Amino acid sequence: MKIRAITPHIVGVGIRNQLIVKVETDEDIFGWGESGLSGREQAVIGAIRHYAEFVIGRDPFHIGALWQEMYRSQYFEGGRVLTAAIAALDIALHDIKGKVLGVPVHDLLGGRQRDLVPTFATTHAPPGPAMIEEAQLLVSEGWEAMRLSPSGQENKTLYDPRAHIAPTAEWCIKAREALGSSIVLGIDYHHRLSVAEAASFCQRMPSGTLDFLEEPIRDESPGAYAALRRMTDIPFAIGEEFSSKWQFIPFIEQDLHQFNRIDVCNVGGLTEAMKVAGWSEAHYVDLMPHNPLGPICTAATVHFAAAVPNFSYLETRASPVEAKVLGFDDPDLFPVRPQLVRAHYPVSDVPGLGIEVDEAVIRHRPPVACEPPHLRRSDGSHTNW
């Protein structure tokens, strides 16, 4: 069996695009993968086309060797564009191998260690009474873990972190009071804060208000996280931007975080994700995978979550709070896809990923205009989205 064709598709799904990739073989068996570099899909397609020049004609079962060749085949190794391209191909190759062997992908990763994959959901409303109502709805639907969004994210042009720290902290306290002590509660700051701002936010809440603080600051400097670690006792959930095992090194080995927000569609696929999972297990770091994309990413991550011991919760954007607003879980494009049963994804035993894509829908689904927000502070300076 040889790889015959590699075809990337940028498809408008809900409020943004998904880059999905079909890898075909000369025996008419194919697999699907997805890239996680949202908003920069054309750059990833360029990398995929480079890789296709030498991946086409190769044995799709040689997943590890192909991963190494793709990563090492340029002088300038790594980086998010390249590993997002590798990830899409790696996931598709796992899909092919599972289909050929008649086994689910989790069997290729060592076999299932759980039957259900628990998820965390996210409130959509900004901090306020509506946010509390959404959180209570999630609890009533079976969620035991959830994530809040900070004040100010609804503005797509202006963001002043200092103006939003106090009201966000106040509503986190109110959410804890309303939901009780048993709910796992976190918040995602989307790396919008400085170390001082993040410390100020944490210090405005009683200990125990939050169970995790996600991406409070940018990830380029582990030393900055070490400084913040000394100023708060809230567990950190970080790593969704990390593009290799090497980027995880200082965070895992210096005990800087407690939850790895690993993204299988950014880090280099299932091959690289399994290496990070084992390393994390050795340091008692739990996995809380990033999953903001589509059903292919969800399916791959469910198989990953099923096959590792140190797993906590999988992000889902298909909860009753977000599903209709975001529209990522498109039943027309993905007629067969992972389905939530209350707050869990059952682990599929269907060969491969257990995903189907209606290619006729792709032909009539153009990309949507989807440039990420370019935020400024009130003084006119640029800040993080």
Residues designated as active site = 190, 290
Identify which of 202, 297, 215, 294 has the alpha carbon closest to the alpha carbon of residue 259: 215
For tokens 């410390």, the residue is: 199
Q: How far apart are the first and last CA of the chain?
A: 44
- Burial of residue 83 (number of CB atoms within 10 Å: 0-12, 13-18, 19+): buried
Three-state secondary structure call for residue 123: coil
Element (H, E) at 168: helix 161-179
Instruction: Quickly list DSSP for 229-278.
Output: HTT--SPEEE-TT--SHHHHHHHHHTT--SEE---TTTTTSHHHHHHHHH
CB 106 within 8 A of CB 49: no
Q: Which residues contact 340 (CB under 8 A, 6 or more apart)?
A: 119, 316, 318, 319
CB 317 within 8 A of CB 348: no
CA 20 from centre of chain: 15
What DSSP designation does 128 have?
T
CB 78 within 8 A of CB 71: yes
Among left, alpha and beta (phi > 0; psi -120 to 50; other), residue 55 is alpha
